[in-house]
Amino acid sequence: MRTRIRNLGILAHVDAGKTTLTERFLYLTGATHKRGEVHDGTTVTDFDPQERDRGITIFSAAVSCDWDGHRLNLIDTPGHVDFADEVERALRVLDGAVAVFDAVAGVEPQSESVWRQADRHGVPRLAFVNKLDRACADLDTAVESLRTRLGTVPLPVQLPIGSEDAFTGVIDLVRMRAHTWRPGSDTYETGPVPETLADEAVRRRHRLVETVAGLHPDALEEFCAHGTLDERTLTSALRDLTLAGEAVVVLCGSAYRNRGIEPLLDAVVAYLPAPADLPPVRGDRPADPTAPLTALAFKVTTTPTGRMTYLRLYAGTLRKGDTVLDTTTGRTERIARILRVQADRTTEAGHAAAGDIVAVVGPKAARTGATLCASDAPPVRLEPPVSADPVVSVAIEARLGRDTERLATALARLSEEDPSLTVRTDPESGQTVLSGLGELHLEVAVEKLRRAHALDVTVGRPRVAYRETPAAGVTGLTYRHVKQDGGAGQFAVVVLDVAPLDGADGDDGGSAAADGGRDFVFRSAVTGGRVPQEFVRAVEAGCRDALADGPLAGHPVTGVRVTLTDGATHVKDSSELAFRTAGRLALREALRTGGTTLLEPVVEVTVTAPGSTVGTVLGDLTARRARITDSTTHADTAVLTATVPLAALFGYATHLRSRTQGRATFTTRPAGYAPAL
C-alpha cells in the first residue's frame, strides 16, 4: 500500500487555477458529485467564509481521493505572497507537487517564489500549463518561461489540439495518441493522432526523446542503439528525472473546462514519488508501518468541537488510544481520535500508517513543528517548518475593557494556528502588537478575531519592521570588562574588528545566523590560546545579544561581520558570563562608533495595466519611491515591475483600482531590505 500513496501539493500564483484544478481532481475521481466553482463560492477547499468572500485561497486545505488504485492526498495551497508560510508548512510534509501556470502569463512572481520554496525542500514537481482556452494562450511561450525564469529543464509530454476557444484536447507524445473532449462533456475519447498534427507530433516527440537521452544514461544507451525510445523506457526515464529534480514534466489543459485533467492524474501516479520511494526520514525510521512511530505536526487548528493537530506519518503506525511522546516538549500525549480530512469535513479512522496525512484529536500541547514518536522507542526530533519573520505590525486592542482577556486568548490561538503571526506587548506604550507577513495577512487575522471569536477590536495603522546595519567598520576596538564586588569578580578583555557584511562574503570558517540570508558572521582570529575556546563561544553569544537593538532607533541589527582578534583573561575572575557581557558591550560600542544605517523592507511589485494607463501607474509608483526594474507590453497590456518600500504600499490596492477604473492588478513578493531614504 505504501507504493500506492501520493502526497502532493497544488502550487501556483494567485488566479492560476489551483483551486479549480483541485475541484476537478475531486470530481473526476468520484470524491465529489458536483463541480465546485471559485466564483460561485462552492469549492470544497475554499470553505472558510473569508476565502469565499475574497475569492482566493487563504488557508491550506487537505483532501483525499482515489485514482487508478492509488490514494492521492492533496493539499491546496494559497497563491498570495502574504500566506507563503502556509505553503512552507505544506511543502515540509509533501512528497511531490503539481505547479500550475497560466498559459497566457507563464511564470508569474509568486509561482516563481513557491517554485523556489519547493527547491529548498527538494520536492519533485510536475508542471501543468492551465487556461489553454484563453485568448493569447501559448504553451510554447509558457514552457520557455519555465526554462528562463525557473532555470529548469521543461519536458513537454503533450501537444495541444486546437487553441483558445477551439482547444479540444491534447496529444500524448509518450504514447502517441490523442485525447479529445467534446463540448459540455466530462469524458474524453482516445484515438490516433490527427493527420493535421501528425508531423508536428513526431517532431516534438523526437525533441523530447533527444532531451531525455541527454539527461538519462539508460535512455541514452537505447537512443544510441535505436535512434528512439520505446514507451516503457521513456516513461521510466521521465520518472527518474522527475524524482531527481533534474527536469520537470510539463502537461497542459484547461481546468475550468475540464480538459486535460485525467492525463494529469495519470502523470501524478506515474511520475511523482510514493512515500516508499523517498529516503528514510532517519536512518532507522523507513516509511514502513512496522517501524517505530515517527510523525511531524505541520498544522494546528481550533474548531468548535476541539483542537485538531495535522500529522504526516513518516514511519510506523498510529492507532486510536495510543500514547505518544512529543520530543519537542518531552510530554506524552494521548491520541483520542484519528480523522481522515476532506477540507472542513472529517471521518473517523481506527489507525494511520507510514505515508498517511491525517488529523488527530487529543494532543493538548503539541504545536506546529512538533515531532511525535512512539513512547517506547528511542526519541527522534524532525526538522520543523521554518516560519518567516513578520514585516508588518498593527496595534490591536479590545473596544470593551471586559473583552481584554478574551482577546489575549484569541490572539494566542491565532499565533498557535499560524506561527507567522506573532503577538507582543510594546514595552513603551503597553499596547498589544500583532505582526504578520503583509497587510492582507493582518486583515485576515483581524477579521477572524471578529468573526470566529466575536470580538469587537480596534486596529492601529500598519507599521513595518525596520532594521539597522553598520554604516562603517571599526578596527581594533578594545573593551575591558572588569567588575569586583567582593568574592569572585568578572574579568574579560576582547579586541574586535566589526565590518558591514555584504552579500558577496563567502564561507570563511565563521558561524552565521540567517534571516533570509547571511545576516551575522562571527569568527575568531585569536592565536596562542589567549582566549580559550569556551570564552570565544561566550563572546559570540554576547555579540548576538547586542544585535537585538541598534544604537540608531532601537531596531534589530543585521548584516554584521565580527572578528575576535585578541583578548586577555584572568586566572580566577574570567568566566563565560564575563566574556559574554564583554562581547555584548563591545559590539554595542563598535556600532555606536561606526554608526548604523536604517533599513526598510522592500517588495517587488508587478503591475498589469492597460496601455492607456501606464503613465498614471508609473507616476504613482515614482511617488511611492519605486525603482522601475522592467517594463514589457503585450497587445494592449503593459506589465511593470518595480522595487518599492513596503511602507509606501499600504492602501495601494484601492488606490490603483481608483486610478485605473478597476482595470489594473498587481502582485508583490518580498525583496529583502534596502536603505531607508
Annotated binding-site members for GTP: 12-19, 76-80, 130-133
Pick the closest to residue 345 from 45, 90, 72 (CA basis).
Answer: 45
**Strand order across the beta sheet in which 331-334 lies:** 331-334, 323-326, 371-374, 294-303, 306-315, 357-361, 337-342, 345-349
Residue 634 in contact with residue 609, Cβ under 8 Å? no
Q: In whole angstroms, how far apart are CA 267 and each of 25, 27, 65, 262?
A: 13, 17, 15, 9
> Which positions ≥6 away from 667 have C-beta within 8 Å?
13, 14, 81, 108, 109, 110, 605, 606
Q: In whole angstroms, how far apart are CA 85 and each of 62, 94, 368, 529?
A: 16, 14, 12, 45
Binding residues are 12-19, 76-80, 130-133
Q: What are phi and psi of 560, to 5 degrees?
A: -120, 135
> Which positions ≥6 away from 148 have C-beta within 8 Å?
none
Residue 516 in contact with residue 672, Cβ under 8 Å? yes
Residue 165 in contact with residue 255, Cβ under 8 Å? no
Count the helices and strands in the chain (H runs, E runs).
15, 36
* DSSP 8-class letter at 225: H
Task: Give the 3-state secondary structure of residue 81.
Answer: helix
What is the β-pairing status of strands 518-524 and 474-483? unpaired
Residue 228 in contact with residue 209, Cβ under 8 Å? yes
Cell numbers given for 185: 462533456
Q: Is 18 exposed, middle or buried (0-12, 13-18, 19+ CB in 10 A)?
A: buried
Pick the closest to residue 589 from 497, 483, 499, 477 (CA basis).
Answer: 477
Residue 563 in contact with residue 525, Cβ under 8 Å? yes
**Element (H or E) spanning 539, and its range?**
helix 533-546
Q: What are phi and psi of 486, to 5 degrees?
A: 100, 135
Looking at residue 596, its amino acid is T
Helices 231-244 and 195-215 cross at an angle (nearest 10°) of 50
DSSP letter string, 104-163: TTBS-HHHHHHHHHHHHHT--EEEEEE-TTSTT--HHHHHHHHHHHH---EEE-EEEES-
Three-class HEC string of 475-519: EEEEEEEEECCCCCCEEEEEEEEEEECCCCCCCCCCEEEECCCEE
